[in-house]
């Protein structure tokens, strides 16, 4: 089955960001396809590569990057939600004249159209947070 | 993307307009969904009914009056705009208190609507 995943929860404040990751990994382990993981609202913060949790805690952001590298995931941060929250890639940084970009490896920035597309093409659309 | 795929999208607005950004960013998502020529409907329930309340002036607290953007939705081919009637009544509101014409539905019908749509997004 082809799933599209929407993550609205930011890292650490709510469990939703964790549950989305566990769900995604479990679906892949079960032989399903994850068409796309789209990060919206505070979920955009999951794409911040500068998260530095205490060493004895999970790194919610880096965990997505690792899963994407190992399994080939399409991780998309909404451009508008990311801009509001300072989650910029190099192109966005230049476009807005900022001095830093924070998008984590394995993530890309794109418009809400990719959320609609994923929901249309997937067999199941699952929201977290 | 295959052109023939057309799904029924239902957007749930469940939170009040200015205590969080859910309703404002939710509206942005609704507009995109409609642009993809999908069947798009909205259902306001719980505190989400406050989003459509008349007479808001959030400029006083430095916020944008985005809620009036919902009035433009019929121009975007949004099919139906439903408001759950018990949520309205519990908050002392009637359809006359809202900024636009809506279709009121019972809690049971709201549940049936959710069941009848392919994709449900909740804000």
**Reduced 3-state DSSP string for B69-108:** HHHHHHHHCCCEEEEEHHHHHHCCCCHHHECCCCEEECHH
Q: Please count the structural domains in chain A.
A: 1
Check if the beta carbon of residue B32 is closer than 8 Å to that of residue A115: yes
Give chain B's mean pLDDT: 92
Name the one residue in this structure whose structure tokens are 């009035």: B71
β pairing state of A2-7 and A124-128: parallel
Cα distances (angstroms) measured from residue B62 to each of A84, B18, B57, B65? 16, 10, 10, 10
Q: Does A1 touch chain B if contact means CB atoms closer than 8 Å? A: no
Q: Does A101 touch chain B if contact means CB atoms closer than 8 Å? A: no
Query: A75: domain range?
Result: 2-128
Q: Does B32 touch chain A if contact means CB atoms closer than 8 Å? A: yes
Domain spans of chain B, in order of start: 8-122
Q: Which of the 8 DSSP states describes residue B59?
A: G
CB neighbour list of residue B100: distance below 8 Å, 6 or more residues apart: B52, B70, B71, B81
Q: Quote the CA–CA distance of A3 and B121 in Å, as a whole number.
A: 15
Question: So what's the pLDDT on residue B74?
Answer: 84
* Separation in Å, CA of B94 to nearest CA in chain A: 30
**A40/B29 touch (CB, cutoff 8 Å), yes or no:** yes
Q: Which of B5, B32, B121 sits opposite A121 (nearest CB)?
A: B5
Q: Enumerate the active-site residues of A.
A: 78
CB neighbour list of residue A105: distance below 8 Å, 6 or more residues apart: A49, A65, A68, A69
Q: Does A111 touch chain B if contact means CB atoms closer than 8 Å? A: yes
Q: By three-state DSSP, how is residue B34 classified? A: helix
pLDDT per residue of chain A (129 residues) written in tens, 0 to 9? 999 999 999 999 999 999 999 999 999 999 999 999 999 999 999 999 999 999 999 999 999 999 999 999 999 999 999 999 999 999 999 999 999 999 999 999 999 999 999 999 999 999 999
On chain B, the residues whose CB falls within 8 A of the CB of A121 are: 1-2, 5
Q: Which CATH superfamily is domain B8-122 in?
A: DsrEFH-like (3.40.1260.10)
Question: So what's the pLDDT on residue B67?
Answer: 87
CATH number, domain containing residue A12 = 3.40.1260.10
**Comparing C-alpha atoms, which of A17, A117, A11, A127 is closest to residue A74?**
A117
**A112/B28 touch (CB, cutoff 8 Å), yes or no:** yes
CB neighbour list of residue A111: distance below 8 Å, 6 or more residues apart: A78, A79, A80, B32
On chain A, the residues whose CB falls within 8 A of the CB of B9 are: 119
């Amino acid at each position: 089955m082809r799933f599209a995943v929407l993550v609205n929860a930011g890292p650490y404040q709510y469990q939703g960001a964790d549950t989305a990751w566990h769900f995604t990994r479990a679906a892949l382990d079960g032989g399903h396809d994850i068409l796309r993981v789209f990060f919206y609202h505070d979920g955009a913060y999951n794409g911040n590569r500068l998260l530095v949790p205490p060493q004895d805690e999970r790194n919610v952001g880096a965990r997505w990057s690792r899963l994407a590298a190992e399994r080939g995931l399409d991780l998309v941060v909404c451009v508008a939600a990311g801009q509001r929250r300072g989650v910029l890639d190099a192109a966005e940084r230049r476009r807005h004249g900022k001095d830093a970009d924070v998008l984590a490896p394995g993530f890309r920035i794109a418009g809400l159209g990719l959320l609609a597309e994923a929901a249309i093409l997937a067999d199941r659309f699952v929201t977290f947070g | 993307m295959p052109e023939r795929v057309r799904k029924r999208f239902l957007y749930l607005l469940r939170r009040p307009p200015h205590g969080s950004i859910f309703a404002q960013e939710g509206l942005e998502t609704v507009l995109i969904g409609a642009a993809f020529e999908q069947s798009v409907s909205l259902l306001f329930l719980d505190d989400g009914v406050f989003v459509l309340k008349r007479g808001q002036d959030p400029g006083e607290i430095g916020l944008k009056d985005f809620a009036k953007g919902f009035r433009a939705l019929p121009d975007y081919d949004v099919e139906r705009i439903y408001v759950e009637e018990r949520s309205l009544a519990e908050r002392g509101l009637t359809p006359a208190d809202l900024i636009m014409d809506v279709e009121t539905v019972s809690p049971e019908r709201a549940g049936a609507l959710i069941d009848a749509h392919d994709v449900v997004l909740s804000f």
